[in-house]
Chain A
Amino acid sequence: GQNIDQPTEMTATEGAIVQINCTYQTSGFNGLFWYQQHAGEAPTFLSYNVLDGLEEKGRFSSFLSRSKGYSYLLLKELQMKDSASYLCAVRDTGGFKTIFGAGTRLFVKA
């Protein structure tokens, strides 16, 4: 079956670093995505990993280990506007079908 796990909620302080973990067990794998979603809005793309290793993009970095079925999203220099839900999603093989985890709600406090 398909299973994507990530923590339900996290709290961090403005200016700090936070790491959001995601583990997955899926029948196929063709890439892992991270999305940011503010309440009432559509998700916005943050990162895509298909090979093992770390991808860095500004304040955001994403890591993937396919053998462990594990990824994390690293957010540096946290800002209040980073308070949002972060969705881990896995794309299945043979197409663009993508399954989403339940999301991690991040609260950034002053």
Chain B
Amino acid sequence: GAVVSQHPSWVICKSGTSVKIECRSLDFQATTMFWYRQFPKQSLMLMATSNEGSKATYEQGVEKDKFLINHASLTLSTLTVTSAHPEDSSFYICSEGRETEAFFGQGTRLTVV
């Protein structure tokens, strides 16, 4: 069964609104989780590293004020896309980090209209 639960699996929102995506680790206390974005026919681009109890670490070019990450517990990290615009439409995926493999959530297909 799944070890990382991500939801919603898809969401459609109006331009200018905010969307929250949740990522839960089901069987592991994940002090670190990762958020990726994937555009059609492209690979996963790391957006940020979510650290439990501290600020997230963002990759170069990712706006931290637009993509808010909260990792308040060892089992839950959230990504909030604020003031979403059509160009933010993408597939967002979270993963947890373990020693020899990484488990991914199911992904969230965000469409901003």
Contact = CB atoms under 8 A, between A and B. Distances in A.
A87 B34 contact: no
Interface residues of B, number: 24
Contacts of B104: 42-44
Contact residues of A: prevailing secondary structure: loop
Nearest to B98: A96
Interface stretch (A62-70, A74-82, A98-106): A98-106
A33 interface: yes
Contacts of B93: 42-43
B97 A96 contact: yes
A44 B42 CA distance: 16
Interface in B62-100: 91, 93, 95, 97-98, 100
Contacts of A99: 46
Given A42-B107, A96-B34, A101 B102 contact: no
Interface residues of A, number: 20
B58 interface: no
A103 B42 CA distance: 8
Contacts of B97: 95-98
A45 B101 contact: yes
Contacts of A43: 44, 93, 104
A7 interface: no
Contacts of A42: 6, 93, 104-107
Contacts of A102: 42-43
A66 to B, nearest CB: 16
B47 to A, nearest CB: 12
B111 interface: no
B71 to A, nearest CB: 14
Given A31-B100, A42-B107, A43-B104, A101 B43 contact: yes
Interface of B: 6, 32, 34, 36, 42-46, 49, 91, 93, 95, 97-98, 100-107, 109
